[in-house]
Chain A
């Protein structure tokens, strides 16, 4: 549904996006993760046709974005900010955005009723938006983007600052649209959202797509970096344990955190017998052992050197 290839954008001498490319199939949610300033919003803006690109190719359902209106009509965008007219009612906002996407008559009224129902705002539809709570505004923000049943839905941090109820309503609607065949491009700072919703994830940093794959594939790329946490009795010297663990083959780093030995090793679970044996030989008996499998947060940290919320 969406093909992005070799995208480049510079602002003066600063290269904001450099060679970014990915595809999203119909009925797929693709997560684009990256720290602030990584180039996510610039990439999204180019895909949405808001910002001209310096080079690269963007097609939606085979239509070049440069064709303008025909391509943009296939896109629904939900910006990170609340992009609503606060002095109009919820229904008036939906009516306006529906008409801008060429809906009219009964089709428009049906679409408005469906969208209001989907985000749970039917009862408040005729009230001025400035009287809505933050979560309700977020839900209406989403409804305005999906009103015209877009083939490509772009969601830029759609759950920032919302209550759990609104977040759940947003997830449900996004999953329903995916099930109806929409391709979804989703950016978020919340790893659990990416893990729940996204079939594939791209990690962008410094304007480049540095990793891409399913959650399993990305985590597997860090399999050699499994962390093992070992606890000892009070009498044991953690300093000596660090020295011993450091001599075991395949161990990358050893540190002490919260009175526990943290060992990062190639395929850590496989190294565990040799590690425990070496410690035992040195007279130290492990009281507890925990193997921590890497998650997306670890992947992100390893790839970018920063946490997702940095």
Chain B
């Protein structure tokens, strides 16, 4: 085992010295998670800054202010008051508010949206619609014509509601796990190309020790990458990953899957460069079909069915299911993702090993 350890340490040293690989494995997925999370809804969920210019100054118009400041909207609607239309416009222009409502004098008498103007910021269509809906709801309640209560949102899973940033934490972790492992497999292919692998085979190290050493290094790197992503997203974004044991098990089989998938793709190519390009294309395509670029909310059920046909989609939804299950998540919760990722990984590794053996024979 001494030889296996030597090979493993040498490979780890090479990979950890590769700045591009570290960028691909850790920095890029964290950055993309943060960017995508904030761009598509923020890590804190929906939040709107609403400016209200109450020119009516009646108890009725004050009621609207109280209506949007009520406790159930706290954290979602942040209200700023303006004393003139100019101040409201200024708050929009200086990006202090996403939307502004001007309650004109006479608003109380009319009790109608005709006495109101909504000033919308460019690109804040959702905030504008939300403001309009709030206003209509207030007037409906005040007139008693359509007094519908706002339904309370009740999370249906123990893990709570999935936030956009949680979705991207899991999807980017799985996506970049493939790319991270790819850099290790690429280095292995480069060893075949440069024939250092042949030199290794000529050394006193038994062939199985070389295989164990190389595989251990790939596995360790993948696990380090997974662990770093899980800890980092937990610390930075508060991402919930679910119960530690099934999460760790799925992380392990996901690394196996990434090794098997990339090693097999790499073995189909003539050299490391060609293999890297092929693997990158296939991983990206699988990631698109695997649903790792789009939040599942609002997408048809067919889409989720399709994503589960891909191994990385299985890994991704496995993590999502664990997150949703919270403390109740078990290995049984992710039985299918575990089986699929482990099978794909082991099959890919076996096929790649067979092809590598043939490639080594060709070298002579």
| Contact with B206, one of A69, A86, A144 (Cβ below 8 angstroms) | A69
Q: Mark B1-28, 1 if CB is under 8 A from A, else 0.
A: 0010010001001100110000000000
One of A45, A81, A100 near B200 (C-beta < 8 A): A100
| In the complex, A190 has a CB within 8 A of chain B | no
Cβ of A289 < 8 Å from any Cβ of B?
no
A88, B13: Cβ atoms closer than 8 Å: yes
Q: Is residue A22 within 8 Å, beta carbon to beta carbon, of the partner chain?
A: no
The verdict on A87 contacting B18 (CB below 8 Å), with A79-B199, A81-B195 known, is yes
B190-204: CB near A (< 8 Å → 1, else 0) gives 000011101111111
Chain B residues, Cβ within 8 Å of A81: 194-195
Kindly list chain B residues whose C-beta atoms are within 8 Å of the C-beta of A210: none
- Listed residue (A49, A86, A100) with the most chain B CB atoms within 10 angstroms of its CB: A100
Q: Is A82 an interface residue (CB 8 A)?
A: yes
Q: Does B118 contact A (CB under 8 A)?
A: no
Asked if residues B14 and A87 are in contact (CB atoms below 8 Å), the reply is yes
Given A81-B195, A88-B14, A99-B6, also A50-B364 (CB < 8 A)? yes
Rounded to whole angstroms, the CA-CA distance of A128 and B198 in the bound complex is 22
Instruction: Decide: A50 and B204 in contact? CB cutoff 8 A.
Output: no
Would you call A75 an interface residue if the criterion is a C-beta within 8 Å of the partner chain's C-beta atoms? yes
Which A residues are in CB contact (< 8 Å) with B196? 83-85
Chain B residues in 8 Å Cβ range of A87: 14, 17-18
Are A83 and B364 neighbours in the complex by a CB distance under 8 Å? no
Q: Which residues of B contact A265 (CB under 8 A)?
A: none
Interface residues in A175-221 (C-beta closer than 8 Å to B): none
Docked pose: A107 CA to B275 CA in angstroms:
41
Q: Is B156 an interface residue (CB 8 A)?
A: no
Verify if A68 is at the interface (C-beta below 8 Å from B).
Answer: yes
Report Cα–Cα, A45/B198, bound state, in Å: 9
Say what secondary structure dominates the interface of chain B. Answer: helix
- Asked if A173 is an interface residue, CB under 8 A from chain B, the answer is no
* B204 contact from A16, A69, A79, Cβ within 8 A: A69
Contact with B along A115-127 (1 / 0, CB 8 A): 0000000000000
Whether a CB of chain B sits under 8 angstroms from the CB of A77 is yes
Residue among A16, A41, A73, A83 having the largest count of chain B Cβ atoms under 10 Å: A83
Report A-chain residues with C-beta under 8 Å of the C-beta of B364: 16, 41-42, 45, 50-51
With the chains together, A75 CA to B13 CA distance in Å?
A: 27
The answer to whether B199 and A72 have CB atoms under 8 Å apart is no
> Which residue of A11, A82, A96 contacts B194 across the interface (Cβ within 8 Å)?
A82
| Per-position 1/0 for A49-78, Cβ under 8 A of B | 111000000000000000011101101010
Given known contacts A50-B364, A100-B3, A100-B6, A77 and B202 CB-to-CB distance under 8 angstroms: yes
Does A100 lie within 8 Å of B361, measured CB to CB?
no
In the complex, are the beta carbons of B203 and A72 less than 8 A apart? yes
The chain B residue with its CB closest to the CB of A51 is: B364
Contacts of B363 in A (CB 8 A): 45
Contacts of B346 in A (CB 8 A): none
- Check B204–A100 contact: CB distance below 8 A: yes
Q: Is B162 an interface residue (CB 8 A)?
A: no
Task: Please report which residues of chain A, range 88-103, place their CB below 8 angstroms from some CB of chain B when the two chains form the complex.
Answer: 88, 92, 96-97, 99-102
Q: How far is the CA of A308 from the CA of B363 in the complex (A)?
A: 21
Q: Is the CB of A48 within 8 A of B14?
A: no
Q: With A42-B364, A100-B205 known to touch, is A83 a contact of B198 (CB < 8 Å)?
A: yes
Is B195 a contact partner of A79 (Cβ separation < 8 A)? Answer: yes
Q: Which residues of B contact A69 (CB under 8 A)?
A: 204-206
A82 CA / B200 CA spacing, docked (Å): 13
Chain B residues near A100: list those with CB within 8 A: 3, 6, 200, 203-205
A77 and chain B: residue at smallest CB distance: B202
Known: A85-B14, A96-B6. A50 touches B202 (CB 8 A): yes
**What sequence of 0s and 1s flags, for each residue 266-280 of chain A, a beta carbon within 8 Å of any chain B beta carbon?**
000000000000000
User: Which chain A residue has the least Cβ–Cβ distance from B196?
Assistant: A83
Contact pattern, B 325-364, Cβ under 8 Å of A = 1, otherwise 0: 0000000000000000000000000000000000011011
How many angstroms between the C-alpha atoms of A75 and B360 in the bound complex? Answer: 20
Residues of B near A41 (CB, < 8 A) are 364
Q: Is the CB of B18 within 8 A of A73?
A: no
Task: Report chain B residues within 8 Å CB of A73.
Answer: 204
CB proximity of B211 to chain A, nearest CB, Å: 15
| 21 sample A-B contacts, Cβ–Cβ < 8 Å, listed by A number | A42-B364, A45-B198, A45-B364, A49-B202, A68-B204, A69-B205, A73-B204, A75-B202, A79-B195, A79-B199, A83-B198, A84-B194, A85-B14, A85-B196, A87-B17, A88-B10, A88-B17, A96-B6, A97-B203, A100-B3, A101-B204
Binding site for A on B (CB under 8 A): 3, 6, 10, 13-14, 17-18, 194-196, 198-206, 360-361, 363-364
Top 5 closest pairs, chain A to chain B, by CB: A69-B204, A48-B202, A45-B364, A73-B204, A83-B199
